[in-house]
Amino acid sequence: MKRSQCLLILATLVSTLTCSLAAEKRPNVLFIVCDDLNTHVSTSGYQQIKTPAWDKLAAAGMTFSRAYCQYPVCGPSRASFLHGLYPESTGVVSNTVDIRKARPGTVSLPQAFKEQGYWTAATGKVFHNEKFDHGEVAWNEVVRFKNDEMPIEAKARKEFEAKHGPVAERKNRKKWKAFLPTIATQTRGQQPGYGPSGLTDAQHADGKNAKQAVSWIENKSSGKKPFFMAVGIHKPHGPFLAPDAYFEMYPREKLKFAEPPSDFWDHAPRSAMVKRYEGFGFEFGIENDSLRREYMQAYHACISFIDAQIGTILASLKKNGLWENTIVILTSDHGYQLGEHFMWGKVTLFEVCNRVPLIVRVPGMTTAGSSSEGLVEMVDYFPTLTELCGLKAPEILQGRSLVPMLKDAKAPGKDVVYTVVSRGKQLGKAIRTQRWRYAKWADGEELYDLVNDIEEHHNLARSKRQKTILMEMRAHLANRETNATNAAKN
């Protein structure tokens, strides 16, 4: 063998070994994203909730108090933060659009990690649904679970089948589907259903998600590779079901909330509202105190339930010696309305719908118990994680790395954050600065002073005193609109 050939082989072996060692030194990533979770967690200053797992992670990492989604609906939000692009650039502005068709070839966050030497795995809802999941392109392993059948549902099913035959038979499917929501509040599905499930933690999908994540950790499923593990927690997405014990934590009569002004919608654009409240059983502009308490109790029960599941995953990292080599991100896909402005659910641009809880812990970087009030966006997750792990990020990313903020809690965030939502073929658009939130709709504008009006009860868009602020916010929005579409043109 010639000397030049020997040198070439030696160089290749050294390069391979170097890459292998570099991969082993790279940190693991545990990315936990909850579904429909607003800032009703203790780390966001919400005093009525008990979320000890969030507290423990916050005590070890950095809490971002002003993090915002780019679209307050599951599919568009996930397409946005999983690809580091604003919704106008992903082309995903509804739950029915697949980014692989709207923007073919766009690399997702897990795909970038997998292609660069990470073992990637997902359990639960990460991409919007199984149809839109990127499968083996993004993951080495991916699984989803369902709740076990509730006792109340099993009893009704047996009675139904005694009269009509198996519910699985084609002739009975439609009839059973129509009958199921009439059994109890728990069986209403996304109408939405709510109430104690009669199941254990382990019988719920999120209990199974936690168990799967723990199994991957304990069994060292990633082998010698670093891992990127995504845990898609399904709750508190409706139906609001949780084991009975979590409901007992929140007596309805002790729940506190602010009632919206009865004339609020006399001063706000009608496009800013959605009629989802009808599905919850409310009448527009009318406060139903007892029903609101029922839903809030169920929503809070779901939060404490998933907090317990998250706690088991974090404990497993520590137990298995991975705590000091694993980056942890804990967040939600968007917020959720629980009667604010008489609205229920998502698809609005109010603060409670746009803002998400966010905690990040980077071993050796984040100061334990630190917090930042800087403005950040969910499109920032992709460039942040690739920088932290020494990976090459796609050039088209529209987010900005949070690494400077993670190193220094006093480092500034963005001047403006941006969120959109569909109204027919048009988009309602909102921006948030440190003090103000401004929204532009086809039929009007909104302007709120979030220092003096955190509940957003007083629309100042028509106030002569705020004319200068209104013009500044319009300019900010025009600038962000341009930036949000840049990747779509490239």
3-class DSSP string for 88-136: HHHCCCCCCCCHHHHCCCCCCHHHHHHHCCCEEEEEECCCCCCCCCCHH
Q: How confident is the model at residue 190, as a pLDDT?
A: 86
Mean pLDDT of 94-118: 97
Q: How confident is the model at residue 152, as a pLDDT?
A: 97
- 147-195 per-position pLDDT tens digit: 999 999 999 999 999 999 999 999 999 999 999 999 999 999 988 999 9
Residue extents of the structural domains in the chain: 32-147+199-415, 149-196
Mean pLDDT of 321-350: 98
Contact 130, 151 (CB under 8 A): no
- 256-266 per-position pLDDT tens digit: 999 999 999 99
Q: How confident is the model at residue 304, as a pLDDT?
A: 98
Q: How confident is the model at residue 164, as a pLDDT?
A: 95
Q: How confident is the model at residue 4, as a pLDDT?
A: 52
Mean pLDDT of 366-388: 98
In the CATH scheme, what is the homologous superfamily, with its name and number, of domain 32-147+199-415?
Alkaline Phosphatase, subunit A (3.40.720.10)
At 253, the pLDDT band (50, 70, 90 cuts) reads very high
Q: How far apart are CA 251 and CA 335, in angstroms?
A: 23
User: What are the CB-based long-range contacts (under 8 Å, 24+) for 433-439?
Assistant: 433/375, 433/473, 433/476, 434/66, 434/373, 434/375, 436/469, 436/473, 437/351, 438/470, 438/473, 438/474, 438/476, 438/477, 439/269, 439/272, 439/349
Mean pLDDT of 329-345: 98
At 13, the pLDDT band (50, 70, 90 cuts) reads very low
The overall average pLDDT reported for the chain is 94
Q: How confident is the model at residue 484, as a pLDDT?
A: 86
At 12, the pLDDT band (50, 70, 90 cuts) reads very low
- 266-297 per-position pLDDT tens digit: 999 999 999 999 999 999 999 999 999 999 99
The pairing of beta strand 28-35 with beta strand 326-332: parallel
SS (H, E, C) 168-190: CCHHHHHHHHHHHHHCCHHHCCC
Please state the pTM of the whole predicted model: 0.94
Q: How far apart are CA 461 and CA 381, in angstroms?
A: 32
- 386-443 per-position pLDDT tens digit: 999 999 999 999 999 999 999 999 999 999 999 999 999 999 999 999 999 999 999 9
- 36-56 per-position pLDDT tens digit: 999 999 999 999 999 999 999
Q: How far apart are CA 84 and CA 391, in angstroms?
A: 15
